[in-house]
Amino acid sequence: MMSHRAFRLFVVALLVATALPCSAQRKAVEAEHAMVVSAHELATQAGVEILKKGGNSIDAAVATGFAMAVTFPFAGNIGGGGFMLIHLADGRDLVIDYRETAPAAATRDMYLDAEDNVLKGPGSSTVGWRASGVPGTVAGFALAHQKYGSGKVKWAELLEPARRLAADGHIVSQETAERFQKEVELLEQFDETKRIYLKNGTLWKPGELWKQPELAATFARLQKHGPEEFYTGETARRIEEAMAKNNGTINRADLKSYKPVERVPLRGTYRGHEIVTVPPPSSGGIALLQMLAMLEPFEIGPLGHNSAAKYHLFVEVMRRAFRDRAERLGDPDFVKLSVQQLLDRSYLTGLMENYDPAKATPNEALAPSVPAPAEPQDTTHYSVIDAAGNAVSNTYTLNGAFGSGVTIPGTGILMNNEMDDFTAKVGVKNLFGLLQGPQNAIEPGKRPLSSMTPTFVRKDGNLLLITGSPGGPTIINTVLQVITNMIDHGMPVMAAVEAPRIHHQWIPDEMTHERYGISPDTAEKLRAMGHTVRERTSYEGANQGDAETIALDPQTGRRLGASDPRKPDAKAIGF
């Protein structure tokens, strides 16, 4: 029998042990100077290699992006586009919008058949030669490098890790092999795609060495002739020729006229923190700032991270922000948007006036005059910081996994299906189940509305967080939850990234949650309030995005790299 004293000691020891930081949680990778976090280890290494050569985080981000096109072909790309949020050590913040544009031949109803129904399969906005917007990645990366790179690493050097990975090959991971397998139906429709990504139908197995000589040759041309080669050189010629042969929509003039746009980031505040994020044509920044403003009057910390009360509140702000997204947003170069009005605090307080802490707001109570649209499935986000404090938060994509499924013969370039992010028809949902409005209708040269949300959080002028995620519309809610997990729940960055996430996008009127992410009694409480609660099954199984994030310790400035466990190949490397 344990003596009374021994028992007391045992209880004290138990209390001490449980008060210690939980050892079951993964630690962030810590480093003093610099950090790269991406969804693929070899792409992270490419960025680190450039930093070690004296490059800054912008140079490293470009090299990581090119390497992702080799090692993470479902989303990494040179045939797609995205948004790069940059913080310069001198204090400036800026956005490079290298979103794809609709080609000149695009028309508002190009994806409708004679009966006005939205086309499916080849020829639609999701599959094949008519699904692509004009790619922006190479031009966006070139602008970033020329204007904001360190000047110490040449363009050709930034491409070299990617060229080497493509030429020498890399080992196919379990995740990669599974992704190929999962998308067989799309990939086998196009001969060149089938040959490269499905090993001509025999399928790549984990552990095999996979070389991509055509892609390596494309990188070599870009090294030799510069980024313009993609838009006016041999690569452009091959894109045009293949497009023409297959009734595609993109021609040489579209490529030649593509321009990335430098934009001013959106800024907001949340409980004394500054949030810096992307403006339209992404909806992500506006929706994120709207949700944070709607949440701010509520005390969230005491509700607990995953209580029914907290999820109810979050679903209600998500519902309201996504309704606005659907109705109001589009490319600001083409449609009138009042960002100021959408972010106005009294407007947002007004949106929450009919919030009931005990009951779900019926969607009809928010009913828009125009139904909103939806979005598609593979994107990737990575974060970089260098020793001087320059930081990059970059999200880019082909849209769906492997984009349109089309590979331009002889180039290794997979083309995006970003045209599906436009409104094919008002009232009809897109690949992501999003409804979209006339603001986002197709017009030549216009950029489709995005949800990509690369974001920074700052406190007292110091950078605290670099984050973002893939996941179509879920991106915005993933970023929201990473930020609130840290600010409201005081989670360390790794826990904030790992914690289970939820999503609501107004339509469909349901809250989804990750597998094991919510207890049956919590779900029951939410149902009793009138919510539809469903376990997530789309986008990479049951996961909601992967937030490849860097936090900075406010006391020491140390870089904390949090690679998201939802992506087994993801890696944070610092030094």
b or e along 225-262 (b: 16 or more beta carbons within 10 Å of the residue's beta carbon)? eebebbbebebbebbbebbeeeebbbbbebbeebebbb
Using DSSP's 3-state secondary structure scheme, residue 231 falls into helix
The tokens describing 319, both together, are 């519902």
CB 555 within 8 A of CB 549: no
Which span (197-205, 291-299, 465-473, 520-528) binds ligand DON, by CB under 6 A? 465-473
131 contributes a contact to ligand DON by CB under 6 A: no
The residues that are catalytic are 379
Which span (246-254, 340-348, 363-371, 469-477) binds ligand DON, by CB under 6 A? 469-477
383 contributes a contact to ligand DON by CB under 6 A: no
d(CA 547, CA 565): 9
CB of 81 to ligand DON, least distance (A): 8
Q: Which of 173, 212, 399, 485 binds ligand DON (CB under 6 A)?
A: 399
Mention every residue, 6+ apart, whose C-beta is less than 8 A from residue 61.
47, 84, 144, 382, 384, 392, 394
Q: Which of 71, 377, 383, 522 binds ligand DON (CB under 6 A)?
A: 377
CB of 288 to ligand DON, least distance (A): 13
Which span (13-21, 251-259, 447-455, 526-534) binds ligand DON, by CB under 6 A? 447-455
x-marked contacts with ligand DON along 499-538 as a string, rule CB under 6 A:
----------------------------------------
Closest CA to 480 of 516, 453, 507: 453
379 contributes a contact to ligand DON by CB under 6 A: yes
470 contributes a contact to ligand DON by CB under 6 A: yes
For residue 270, report the phi and psi dihedrals to the nearest 5 degrees: -150, 115
Closest CA to 473 of 404, 548, 397, 415: 397
x-marked contacts with ligand DON along 153-192 as a string, rule CB under 6 A:
----------------------------------------
Which span (221-229, 350-358, 468-476, 558-566) binds ligand DON, by CB under 6 A? 468-476
Q: Which of 72, 219, 258, 539 binds ligand DON (CB under 6 A)?
A: 539
CB of 419 to ligand DON, least distance (A): 10
The rounded radius of gyration (Å) of the Cα atoms in the chain is 23
Which span (105-113, 117-125, 374-382, 454-462) binds ligand DON, by CB under 6 A? 374-382
Query: In this structure, are strands 533-535 and 511-513 parallel, antiparallel, or unpaired?
Result: parallel
CB of 350 to ligand DON, least distance (A): 27
83 contributes a contact to ligand DON by CB under 6 A: no
CB of 473 to ligand DON, least distance (A): 7
CB of 5 to ligand DON, least distance (A): 58
Find the helix or strand (DSSP H, E) in which 340 lies. helix 339-342
Instruction: Give the distance, in angstroms, between the CA of residue 54 and the centroid of all CA atoms in the same chain.
Output: 28
Length of the chain: 575
Of 545 and 561, nearer to ligand DON (C-beta) is: 545
Q: Which of 378, 443, 488, 564 binds ligand DON (CB under 6 A)?
A: 378
Q: Which of 77, 393, 397, 436 binds ligand DON (CB under 6 A)?
A: 397
- For ligand DON (CB under 6 A), the number of binding residues is 17
406-425 residues near ligand DON, rule: CB under 6 A: 418, 421
375 contributes a contact to ligand DON by CB under 6 A: yes
CB of 224 to ligand DON, least distance (A): 31
Long-range Cβ contacts of 229-236 (<8 Å, 24+ apart): 230/78, 230/135, 230/138, 230/139, 230/255, 231/138, 231/139, 231/255, 231/256, 231/258, 232/256, 235/411, 235/413
CB of 374 to ligand DON, least distance (A): 10
Mention every residue, 6+ apart, whose C-beta is less than 8 A from residue 23.
none
The single residue listed with the structure tokens 């094991």 is 516
Which span (9-17, 139-147, 350-358, 445-453) binds ligand DON, by CB under 6 A? 445-453
d(CA 230, CA 413): 11
Closest CA to 409 of 542, 242, 281: 242
| Dihedral, CA of residue 68, residue 379, residue 453 and residue 257, to nearest 10 | 80
Q: Which of 419, 452, 495, 560 binds ligand DON (CB under 6 A)?
A: 452
d(CA 75, CA 378): 5
The tokens describing 321, both together, are 């922000």
CB of 194 to ligand DON, least distance (A): 22
CB 530 within 8 A of CB 343: no
Find the angle CA(389)-CA(395)-CA(396) to the nearest 5 degrees: 135
DSSP strands (E only) in 278-317: none
Residues that bind ligand DON (CB under 6 A): 375-379, 397, 399, 418, 421, 450-452, 470-472, 475, 539
